[in-house]
Amino acid sequence: ADGELVQYHYGLKDLVTILFYIFIAIILHAVVQEYALDKINRRLHLSKVKHSKFNESGQLVAFHLSSVIWCLYVVVTEGYISNPRSLWENYPHVYLPYQVKFFYLCQLAYWLHALPELYFQKVRKEEIPRQLRCIALYLLHIAGAYLLNLTRLGLILLLLQYLAEFFFHMARLVYFTDENNEKLFNVWAVVFVVTRLFTLTLYILVIGFGLPRVESQALDPERGNFFSFLFNNILFRMSVLLLVCLFQASVMWRFIHFQLRRWREYWNEQSSRKRAAAAAGTKQQTKLLKRDSAYHENGVVKAENGTSPRTKKLKSP
């Protein structure tokens, strides 16, 4: 009826919905692959390794872009950005608006569909452990936020994560089309650092200051209250924040190591090009000097057989 606000809770029927959208995700994956990525691959003539990475980045660019737009629309319309206190106020957030619940179900369906896609896409054996680890981490975090009633915090974290991932995979696509173009990697580096800082700040704000102030501090699984009584303990709260900071520090360390290696490879490539150009110039000068020494002796120009190029005058008999 008009004026009623219908909200939703999770249950076993979500599994049927997720299964349905897994098939939808497989169909959309095939459409993007056949009508976009395969056509571009035929023009680029990439190697098998680059072909696999190009397909992976192409699919993830489409997914991350649509997810960023969708997630941004949800957090803006629900007021989670304009009112940061809503991330922890009235916890636990058991009942969800339709668009929040639908977003989470679609996210779970996409990352579950990525498992059979490893077989359909004939991913190389060397790449399977990395992709399985990535899929497992996304499923763990998304399902954890959904089942533990931290959906509002999970939306903001997914928005930040998908934004950084979009720029990374977009930079890889541009690099595969033109190996001399690495400008988007620099953009991704800036976005990655900014999103890490926002993620760490958000963790400290919600875990350190938000959840300990929740009115209901008792453990109540029936109402979905799993955390607030734990965060009331300062020792537990500081331990969680320490683990979060250590994890973010390890992520930043890997990122800095990657950037240093990339810059080292770039400068080595530039120096090798300069050495090759200098060697080519020296070789060219050597050829010119040899040619000059072969054709000039004591200031007199000679032909190839050593005779003078001038025509001899015939004496009259």
What does the pLDDT look like over 201-213, one tens digit per residue? 998 888 878 777 7
Mean pLDDT score of the chain: 83
Res. 178 pLDDT band, cuts 50 70 90: confident
Q: Is the model's pLDDT at 199 over the cut of 80? A: yes
pTM: 0.80
User: What is the per-residue pLDDT for 218?
Assistant: 59
Which of the residue ranges 76-80, 88-92, 262-266, 298-302 would you say has the lowest mean pLDDT?
298-302
pLDDT higher at 187 or 181: 187
User: What is the per-residue pLDDT for 317?
Assistant: 46
Q: What is the 3-state secondary structure (H, E, C) of the chain?
A: CCCCCCCECCCCHHHHHHHHHHHHHHHHHHHHHHHHHHHHHHHHCCCHHHHHHHHHHHHHHHHHHHHHHHHHHHHHHCCCCCCHHHHCCCCCCCCECHHHHHHHHHHHHHHHHHHHHHHHCCCCCCCHHHHHHHHHHHHHHHHHHHHCCCHHHHHHHHHHHHHHHHHHHHHHHHHHHCCCCCHHHHHHHHHHHHHHHHHHHHHHHHHHHHHHHCCCCCCEHHHCECCHHHHCCHHHHHHHHHHHHHHHHHHHHHHHHHHHHHHHHHHHHHHHHHHHHHHHHHHHHHHHHHHHHHHEECCEECCCCCCCCCCCCCCCC
* 110-146 pLDDT per residue, tens: 999 999 998 888 888 888 999 999 999 999 999 989 9
> Domain boundaries in the chain?
7-232
